Every structure is written in structure tokens, then in C-alpha cells.
Amino acid sequence: MGDVLQANDLHEDAHIRLSAYVLNEGFLDATQPVALGCLAVRRHDTSLTEKAARAQVSSWHRIEDSSMPPRIKCAANYQNGRLATIQARADGYNEAILLTRSGKVAESAGACLMAIRDGIVITPTVTGSILESVTRATLIELFERELSMEVQQREIDRTELYVCQEVFLCGSGYEVMPIVDIDGYRIGDGTVGKNTQAIFDTYDAATRGANNRYDHWLTSV
């Protein structure tokens, strides 16, 4: 990854995407060696207020472990989120939130979901048709260790989202994205919540090396 950054002559914030693919003409039973592609793109530096989004609970269900395991970051899995995003954008929303077949909240089309209800952080479990996200795990640790907030990994009902004080998405590309409206229901006061801002600031400090407690997460380039 360091070589990719240097080859692209990047001296600013950037996102790196790694893609592994099988060296084969496309046969379903291919077991050939895996090749690796690496792409670096500039990171857009925007405030949380500028990133605040409106979300729609999609009519498309989230894929399940018994059919296409969503816990891995597989390119084919994103077709599920793509369909939900197309629907959401057509209906005037920025993001889509998908439910499991049992009607519980899973995640968005491309990021995990976290929310604040009555001072407690809630997020779906890793067995709830979600990606086993590094960013999600990072924020859970930061919430507990730096902000001294309780985190509950549990089932979340669709309507529970409407009564949460804060909702946000998280992922390597999303980082932290506030959701201020779901299905036309205003979340909290309709602005970026204090805890959402606090966890973003804490995450930003950790990833930039401003908090040396997390230097073991970083690699110098």
C-alpha cells in the first residue's frame, strides 16, 4: 500500500481499496491463485454537517449468511446494496437502510449502522446480516474506552430507529456519516448529534496519531 501511495504521488489524505480476485476466465469452481489490485483515491475533507444524510428503510432485504454471507467484503454482495440505493435515490433519499428477513435492522447499502438511544450506543450484532467491519469494531472500542459510553450489540427494530436521539453510518470510506432523517421522521433535532460529533473527533484523532494510545493501529509511510 505504501508503494501505491508513492506511485500516485499522494501527499494528502487518501483512501486505499484492496481487491483480491481469482486468476481465471470465470469458471464457478475456479481455485487458481488470487491476484491483488490496489487503488488509492483522494479523501474528501468535509464536515459532518455537510455529510449529514437522509435515509430510507428499503423494501429490499439484506442478504443472509445462508445464501451470500455478508460478513465478508465481497464485491458481489454490493449488488444487494446497489438495488437498495437506486430505490432510495429515486425516492429522494441519500442512503438506504436494509432489514433482515425477520424485519430487524441490518446495515446500510455500504456501511454499518450505529445509534444512540437514551445515552446508550446500540448497533446490530455481527450475526445480524452485517459486515464484520473493522471501522465498527474500532468505534465500539473508542466509545467504551475514550467516551465511557455503554455499547449494546443487539437486535434493533425499524421503528426503534425513529425514536433514537442519534443515528449514523460507519465504514472505511464513510468514516462517520450522520443520519438526520429516516423515512421522513426527523432523528433527534435533525442536526448532527453531540455523540456523533464526539466519536468522529475521537476516531479522527486516533487515525491521525493525535492520540498515541492507538499508535499500534498506524503504519508510517
Residue 216 has pLDDT above 90, yes or no: yes
Residue 14 has pLDDT above 90, yes or no: no
Tell which residue, 125, 109, 139, 116, has the closest CA to residue 188: 116
Domains of the chain: 2-42 (no CATH), 48-207 (3.20.10.10)
Which sign, positive or negative, has the C-alpha torsion 36, 42, 45, 50?
A: negative
The three cell numbers of residue 175 are: 468514516
Residue 145 has pLDDT above 90, yes or no: yes
Residue 179 has pLDDT above 90, yes or no: yes
Q: Is 130 exposed, middle or buried (0-12, 13-18, 19+ CB in 10 A)?
A: buried
Least confident of 43-47, 73-77, 156-160: 43-47
List, in order, residues 6 or more apart from 199 with CB less than 8 Å away.
139, 142, 143, 147, 168, 176
- Cα–Cα distance between 200 and 19 in angstroms, integer? 27
The answer to whether 47 and 171 are in contact (CB under 8 A) is: no
Residue 207 has pLDDT above 90, yes or no: yes
Which pLDDT score, from 0 to 100, does residue 10 have? 78
**Which single residue is written with the C-alpha cell 430487524?**
104
Tell which residue, 12, 27, 133, 131, has the closest CA to residue 80: 131
How does pLDDT run across 88-134, given as a tens digit for each residue? 999 999 999 999 999 999 999 999 999 999 999 999 999 999 999 99
Residue 40 has pLDDT above 80, yes or no: no
How many helices and strands in the chain, by DSSP H and E? Answer: 6, 11
Which pLDDT score, from 0 to 100, does residue 23 have? 85
- Cα–Cα distance between 166 and 10 in angstroms, integer? 35
Which pLDDT score, from 0 to 100, does residue 116 have? 99
Residue 17 has pLDDT above 90, yes or no: no
Q: How confident is the model at residue 140 (pLDDT cuts 50, 70, 90)?
A: very high
Percent of the chain with pLDDT over 90: 76
The answer to whether 177 and 126 are in contact (CB under 8 A) is: no
